Structures are given as structure tokens and as C-alpha cells.
Amino acid sequence: MNSISSIDPRGAAHAVSLSMRAMEARLESVASNLANANTTAHKRVTAFYESFRGELDRQQEGIPAIQLATRRDFRQGEMVETGNAHDLALMGQGFLGLEHDGEVQYARAAKITVDADGYLVNQQGLRLLGTAGPVRLPDPLAEPVVDKDGTVNVNGEPVGKLRLVGFDREQDLEEAGPGLFRTAENQAPVRPQDLEVWRGYKESSNVNPLQEMVNLISIQRQFQSSQRALTTHADMRRTLIQSLR
């Protein structure tokens, strides 16, 4: 009798419930990865959570908790030649600097054009930053040519150099929009190592659709297993209550 009464029936059910919430977060990340498998320079996202082991000691009521978080995989995607000189892709770890409403943001790719004021802009109309502010061409009708080191040339003459940066902890970057990132608090860019600008190329997403499908099936099976565990727990609790009446 004492051994039965000492069991906290909420603990196991709550643990399974929280686990299912974590699975939902993982499922959302997998769905997002699959949806962006063909998006230029998309970086795979994973959701993860802490193990239940050891959590009981940190909870006042003995109910385990989960800390959900996401992690972005910034590994290089495959470089695909497009034949369009306006397509810029990065080979190596680093980012292009962009100006967005007075804020500096960062991207792994750009499809460049020149706006009416002569500024070099990406496909979203954001100005590409150089080492001394936004890159501006002397003639809005000029055709820019970007070298691997980021130098922007017009008629064979350099008119600016793209701002190429790296980060010691890319994982701390915050998503600012599709393909855009901003720095977290107290995070500063550093000089990139072995970073090149490839003109006429696109960086493919680093998502492996086959692996994501395997992950999807695995999560669905785990979710179903957890549902069965909750049902079993509810049946056991109901039986226990009835036996104590």
C-alpha cells in the first residue's frame, strides 16, 4: 500500500505530455526544412530538448520539464552554376552585409540589380553594404562585375568592395526574415576566413530531403507511442482509483 501511495501519478503523464510538445516542435522544424529544400542558401533547422534525466531534482514538485530550443545548421550547401552574372553566392563560412531600414542584416546570397539612385541592391531591394557604406555605382545603367574577393567593378575599374563578414558563433544569429539574419546582443562580426563570392552561382539549401523524411516518420512513430503511453497511464490511474474506493 505504501509503495503505491508514494507514486506521483502526475509525473509520468506530465513528462509524456511535455515530450509530445517537444515532438511537435521537432515536427514543425522538419516540415519547414522540407518546405525550403529548394530555397536558395536555406540553412537546415533542428529543434531539440533536454533529457528528462536529472530534471526531477530541479523541480519543486518532482515534475520534469523540457527546455525547447532550435539550432540552425550553417554548413555549406552545394554550389550550382546559373549562368546569370547577377547571382551571387558565398563559398565558405560568412555573410554579405545588407542595409534594411537603417539596420545591418546579413545574407548568404543575393541576386543583384542597380536601383534608380545607382545603389547595388538585392532581390528584396536591400542595399548591399561595402567597406564604407552602401555600394553605389557612378552610373545607374552601369553593369557591375563582382570579383571573388567582393570587389565591385564597373568597366574594369573598382568602385567599391562588398562587406564580407564572419561570426565566431553563427548559432547566436537571429532570423530577421527569409534568408536574412541579424546579430544577437553583444555579438560582433569578425574577418571571415577563406570566404569567396561566386558570381553566376547559387548555393543550394543544405537540407537533405530524404533524411528529413526519415526524421518525419521517426517523430510520427514516437508521437504515436507517446499517445499510447498516455492512454495506458490513464487506464492504470483509473484502475488504481477504483481499487482505493
pTM > 0.85 = no
> What is the domain range of residue 135?
79-203
What's the total number of domains in the chain?
2
Same domain for 14 and 123? no
Q: Coil, strand, or helix at residue 61?
A: coil
Are both 95 and 114 inside the same structural domain?
Answer: yes
Backbone CA torsion sign across 212, 177, 99, 156: positive
d(CA 72, CA 216): 18
Indicate if 190 and 237 belong to the same structural domain. no
Same domain, 194 and 134: yes
* Distance from chain centroid for Cα 110: 18
- Residuewise pLDDT in 10s, the chain (245 residues): 323 333 344 555 666 666 667 777 788 889 999 999 999 999 998 877 655 444 444 444 444 455 567 789 999 999 999 999 999 999 999 999 999 998 999 999 999 999 999 999 999 999 999 998 999 999 999 999 999 999 999 999 999 999 999 999 998 999 998 899 999 988 999 999 999 999 999 999 999 999 999 988 888 787 777 667 667 666 666 776 777 76
**124 and 233: one domain?**
no
For the residues of 124-165, what is the DSSP string, one character each? TSPEEEEBTEE-B-SSTT--EEE-TTSEEEETTEEEEEB-EE
CA distance 192 to 95: 9
* CA–CA gap between residue 135 and residue 118 (Å, rounded): 9
* 197 and 214 housed in the same domain: no
Q: Is the domain of 180 the same as that of 217?
A: no
For residue 139, what pLDDT is reported?
Answer: 92
Same domain, 84 and 190: yes
Do 96 and 175 fall within a single domain? Answer: yes
User: Nearest 5°: CA angle at 19, between 16 and 22?
Assistant: 160
Hunting for cell 545603389 — which residue is that?
119
Residues 166 and 87 in one domain: yes
User: Quick one: which of 113, 129, 108, 77 has its CA closest to 176?
Assistant: 108
Whether residues 10 and 85 share a domain: the answer is no
* In a shared domain, residues 28 and 113: no
> Integer distance in angstroms from the first to the last C-alpha of the chain?
13
